Amino acid sequence: MDLFDPSIEYYVMHEKAWKFGGGDIFNPQGDKIGSMKRKLISMRAEIELRNPDESVVCIINKKLLGVRPIYDVKAPTGELIGRGKKPMIAFRGSVDMYDPEDRLIYKAQGGVMKWNFKITDPKDKNRVYAEIRKSDKWRDIFAPMFNFKDRYVIHIVDPMAPRMMLLAYAIVIDNVYHDK
C-alpha cells in the first residue's frame, strides 16, 4: 500500500524510542505504510518522509536563523513546496503552513496543552482538512522523564487535501511543540 493511498483515512505516526523524530507510519490495521527518517547529527533537524519501499517523498528541515521556529518542506529534488511557521504570538498552539510563494494555505490550531490540532483553511475555520491527535498525551503528564517517543493519529477529513502536505505538517507541529 502506498503512503498516499486515497483510501487511507487515518494515519498513525509512531516515533521510535531514541530516534528523535524518526519512526514508522501505519494505517489503522497496523500495516506499515511509510516511515520518518531523521538525521541524528543535523543542526537543521532534517527528517525524510518515506514510502514503504524507502523512496523519499519529501524532506522537512528547520531553518537555522530565525526568532521563531520555521520548517521547510521540500521535494526530494530540494525544491521548496511549503513552509511551516509558528506565529510570533500565539496563546494556544498554532502553526501556519505557507506555499513556496509565502501565501498562507493552512492553519493548524491546537489547544492550550498543544496535543490536538485542527488543520483548517486560513479564511474559513469551518473547512477542516485534517485533525491531529496526540494519542499518548497522558504519559507526558504522569511520566515526562520517561517520555522517549510520541504517537500521533492523523485523521484526513477532506479526502481531496494533499496528504503529503498534511503528513509533513504533522511532523512540523511535533517538532515545534514536542521535539525540542
Secondary structure letter of residue 174 according to DSSP: H
Say if residue 33's pLDDT is above 70: yes
Block residue for cell numbers 511509510 = 34
Domains of the chain: 10-177 (2.40.160.200)
Q: How many other CB atoms are found less than 10 A from the CB of residue 157?
A: 16
HSE-up of residue 107 (Cα within 13 Å, Cβ side): 13
List, for residues 7-26, the tens digit of each pLDDT value.
999 999 988 755 556 899 99
- For residue 65, what are the CA distances in angstroms to 71, 92, 168? 11, 24, 21
Say if residue 75's pLDDT is above 90: yes
> Which amino acid, residue 42?
S
The CA-based angle 105-46-43, given to 5 degrees, is 115
H-run or E-run covering 134:
strand 128-134
Q: Is residue 70 a contact partner of residue 84, using CB atoms and an 8 Å limit?
A: yes
Q: What is the pLDDT of residue 67?
A: 72
List, for residues 116-145, the tens digit of each pLDDT value.
899 999 999 999 999 999 876 544 444 444
Q: What is the pLDDT of residue 119?
A: 96
